[in-house]
Chain A
């Protein structure tokens, strides 16, 4: 019969806690006492001293104590790893205890299995057998039906042909030269005083439109044109900068 009395009654006088062991345990399970502040070795020493003082070896109490202290040790170890802590912190104390019990049981199963393996090994340790890499096992080669050598020549001939030049068309992002559009806009503005950008570039590719726009900026920089747009996405209107230029000339000469 398990008699946890001795364990429960264990009076502790630790740095972080003073009182009976069962209170400590319930505080820890309720998350009211941070485990990492507890020196578990102190608890173990207290228990051993307690056993010593009693003068008799209470095996049930020892077993009980081992279960409890190992649970605390495991909890504490896990609390030291942040992601594990987060994992356990999300659980209610109830669930945390459940999870803890589950993990302990999983470990006990591993121990049980280890014991089985130990016994098995003990039984079989004296069995000698040949070890080492498998001797060379020639894999039976697939036999080919008789073939005409001409067929091989035929096949090789196919390989001997120079491969076609790989096509790079997909790589060619063709940038028309800006000058092409500079000329085009200048020519246009010689004929007309103003034009609508969108109308002029309709039907061109995206790249071409972009270059055409760059050409506009270039012309603007050189003060050959004026660019106007009523609002975002509104048509861009381009006009000759003659008037302004003449103005600036006037200003200059003044």
Chain B
């Protein structure tokens, strides 16, 4: 592109230079860094950070590197490539070592979709007591207390950034829609009544 400044040859491409800074910030961080934080630390505009991240995403991809850059839990973060997972597993603990039970996954789903929610609210949907499950999820850091129903009411729970990170979600908005299953109400009802109501009273 023609630019009046193009004769100034000493000017380095700012994106690649900035990419180094961003790279450094990301390698030190233990949590995903929002673009705004990167911009503030590098003292540049958010737009420039975007260019640098584009460059880095190219470089740190599954195909090219053992380090993969991803947008997750509201920010940018490095993770190990899938190819390196076995080696990693010999030395480190997996983020979710033993997997999650059906009860835990259902509770997690309810809190993620409908949260923040209190234990009784979750129990109402699942139809069983969820105290133990909730405690387990809190222990694993997948959900956390997020306020109370009212000043002295039941504790509400919400999912944590760790949840988004483990499940690879950019944010909770990245969860797939499930309300297209709404037709089920009619379906279940019909099946319920097909048996009961066909019988003469």
Cβ A128 vs Cβ B94 within 8 A: yes
Q: Which of B31, B127, B178 contacts A113 (CB 8 A)?
A: B178
Q: Which of B77, B162, B166 contacts A121 (CB 8 A)?
A: B166
In the complex, identify which listed stretch (A18-26, A46-54, A163-171) lies at the interface while the others stay far away: A18-26
A105 at the interface (CB under 8 A from B): yes
Which residue on chain B has the smallest CB distance to residue A93? B196
Smallest CB separation, A76 vs chain B (Å): 11
- For B173, what are the chain A residues with a Cβ–Cβ distance below 8 Å? none
Could you tell me the distance between the alpha carbons of A120 and B88 in the complex, rounded to whole angstroms?
20
Cβ B178 vs Cβ A26 within 8 A: no
Could you tell me the distance between the alpha carbons of A110 and B106 in the complex, rounded to whole angstroms?
6
- For A113, what are the chain B residues with a Cβ–Cβ distance below 8 Å? 106, 109-110, 112-113, 175-176, 178
The size bracket of the interface on A is 35 or more
Cβ A128 vs Cβ B92 within 8 A: yes
Name the interface residues of B121-167: CB closer than 8 Å to any CB of A: 125-127, 162, 165-167
Q: Which of B105, B188, B196 contacts A22 (CB 8 A)?
A: B196
> How many chain-B residues does the 8 Å CB contact rule pick out?
57
Smallest CB separation, A79 vs chain B (Å): 13
B28 at the interface (CB under 8 A from A): yes
A86 at the interface (CB under 8 A from B): no
- For A104, what are the chain B residues with a Cβ–Cβ distance below 8 Å? 184, 188
In the complex, identify which listed stretch (A67-75, A200-208, A216-224, A229-237) lies at the interface while the others stay far away: A67-75
In the complex, identify which listed stretch (A131-139, A150-158, A179-187) lies at the interface while the others stay far away: A131-139
Smallest CB separation, B7 vs chain A (Å): 37
Cβ B30 vs Cβ A126 within 8 A: no
Known: A101-B185, A135-B30. A110 touches B109 (CB 8 A): yes
- For B89, what are the chain A residues with a Cβ–Cβ distance below 8 Å? 126, 128
Cβ A126 vs Cβ B191 within 8 A: no
Q: B96-117 interface mask toward A, CB cutoff 8 Å, 1 = contact, 0 = none?
A: 1001101001101110110000
Which residue on chain A has the smallest CB distance to residue B168? A124
Could you tell me the distance between the alpha carbons of A130 and B108 in the complex, rounded to whole angstroms?
22
**Residues on A facing B (Cβ under 8 Å):** 2, 4, 7-8, 21-23, 25-26, 28-30, 64, 67-68, 71, 74, 77, 97-98, 100-118, 120-121, 123-135
**Residues on B facing A (Cβ under 8 Å):** 28-31, 68, 77-80, 82, 84-85, 88-89, 92, 94-96, 99-100, 102, 105-106, 108-110, 112-113, 125-127, 162, 165-168, 175-176, 178-179, 181-182, 184-186, 188-189, 191-199, 201
